Amino acid sequence: MGSPTTSSPEPQAILTPLTEASIFLTFVVEPGAEDAVRDVLADVSGLKRSVGFRLPEGALTCVVGVGAAVWDRLFGTPRPAGLHEFRALDGDHHAPSTPGDLHVHLRARRLDMCFELAQLLTTRLRGHARIVDEVHGFRFFDERDLLGFVDGTENPDGAAAARAVLVGDEDPGFAGGSYVVTQKYLHDMAGWNALSTEEQENAIGRTKLQDIEMPEDRKPPDSHIALNVIEDDKGQQLQILRFNMPFGHVGTDEYGTYFVGYAHDPAVIEKMLENMFLGTADAHHDRILDFSTATTGNLYFVPTADFLDDPPSP
């Protein structure tokens, strides 16, 4: 990968710290609504400023991703080199590909800020794009998921994060952009909680209390961490940036994790998912999938902020 060029347009606000609250919105664009949707996309930064200015310490951000099925309708060609439909995976467990043209990832230190901006955006898109999935995520104590383990420990930071997530010279027309894969997982909490702590740690590959990765000679080959370590042909680990959030509805006994992974090349995340769902020479599948079921799956390109502010017509 070439490094992101210094003259690249400004990226969207991906490279910002984890926050306490998120809302994830998935839209399908109605036929014939392309012009209206482009107009809304051009106003996203202004709407975000209107909400965020009222509480600067709330650290509100908004990242918009565009799916392959709608890209040509909205912007014509060319399209980003790695943009395609999410590829469903069928092994011992299933990773579905589900509808999704636009993905809006809202983050802030307070849920009310996410909610306000979500309401403004959906009002503007009403009649032009319909919501097919909405998830409200929250920080769970010390960045843990509802399975009880810290999530996102291996996220890169600083320059390493930029190298991991931003498109560079390999696709110069879209430099500064990124790719994002999203999946909604629902957890079998009764089955998970029936496991001993040791069995849970073996499924994850990390200690539960102290969040310490197991040594290689003790880490089970079907553990989540073992199957998510991807290396290039030089043996260097390929990284992604995760912004996973827990969500749930206690009245319906629904508990889950919304997976959000950003990368400069979607093939990195796709390889992780292949390992998880299709297995490797040493593991049939990721052990965590025996307790977590993927119910959605989407891939989007995240254009630069400059691109969204003045989107091209086809």
Active site residues: 151
Q: How far is CA 165 from the centre of its chain?
A: 11
Measured distance CA(83)–CA(313) in Å, rounded? 18
Side-chain-facing half-sphere of 155: CA atoms under 13 Å: 21
| Rounded-to-integer distance, Cα 94 and Cα 294, Å | 7
CA separation, residue 304 to residues 58, 65, 66, 121 (Å): 23, 10, 11, 19
Where does the chain have alpha helices with state H?
34-52, 68-75, 111-125, 158-165, 189-193, 197-204, 224-227, 266-278, 305-309
184, 256 in Cβ contact below 8 A?
yes
Q: The tokens of 126 are what?
A: 């009403």
How far from chain centre, in Å, is Cα 280? 24
270 three-state secondary structure:
helix
CB 45 within 8 A of CB 64: no
Pair of tokens at residue 306 = 């400059």
Distance CA 67, CA 48 (A): 21
- CB atoms under 10 Å from CB of 69, counted, come to 14
Q: What are the residues facing 67 on neighbouring strands?
A: 300
Q: Which helix (H) or strand (E) holds 8?
A: none
Q: Which residue in this structure is represented by tokens 């009245």?
A: 251
